[in-house]
Amino acid sequence: MSERFHFITVTVNGEEIREHVDARKTLVDFLREDLALTGTHVGCEHGVCGACTVRVDGEIVRGCLMLAVQCDGARVDTIEGVSDQGEITDLQQAFAERNALQCGFCTPGMLLTAQELLATGGASDRAQIREHLSGNYCRCTGYHAIVDAVEAVAKRRAGGAK
């Protein structure tokens, strides 16, 4: 069916949701406007800044470069869900301790991006952390404190696993 409006069923932060969406609505606008999940931010709207980063079926994606209608049948996790489940509590604390945020606009995307690297065990050195975060812009911190926070969590998690 080639139609403009479609029903989608999508699992957002563990909750199954059925909505009627306009095909042109991006995933990030759907989350913010239809579901009032405003933790995911809208920045550049062309994939450059990383503020709209969310997880779809377990992988981070740009919320502005995916359409809501494409998420029919998918599992979407936003900063609200990941935060509430306690998955990144240590990372959030490290960001606060090291002043890895000021205005906070980039922080939800930054946290989800860093968590993907940490979860796959890829954060073994600062160059890798910088490369992985290179698609997420921060206009406040100069990045140094963010890299510090991610590195500290990587070390702590590696220590805890021993």
Under rule CB under 8 A, residue 84 binds another protein = no
Residue 134 Cβ vs another protein, minimum distance, rounded to whole Å: 4
Residue 12 Cβ vs another protein, minimum distance, rounded to whole Å: 18
Under rule CB under 8 A, residue 1 binds another protein = yes
What's the token pair of residue 107? 């922080």
The letter for the amino acid at 130 is R
CB under 8 A: which stretch of 82-90, 98-106, 112-120, 140-148 binds another protein? 112-120
**If we measure between CA atoms, which residue out of 4, 30, 29 comes closest to residue 19?**
30
**Measured from the CB atom, is 99 or 126 closer to another protein?**
126
DSSP state of 74: -
How far from 68 is each of 11, 22, 30, 125, 141, CA to CA, in Å? 12, 8, 6, 36, 32
- C-alpha atoms less than 13 angstroms from C-alpha of 27 in its C-beta half-sphere: 28
Under rule CB under 8 A, residue 24 binds another protein = yes
What's the token pair of residue 125? 């050195």
Residue 142 Cβ vs another protein, minimum distance, rounded to whole Å: 14
**What residues make contact with another protein under the rule CB under 8 A?**
1-4, 6, 22-24, 26, 29, 45-47, 50, 53, 59-62, 64-67, 69-70, 72, 113, 116-117, 131-132, 134-136
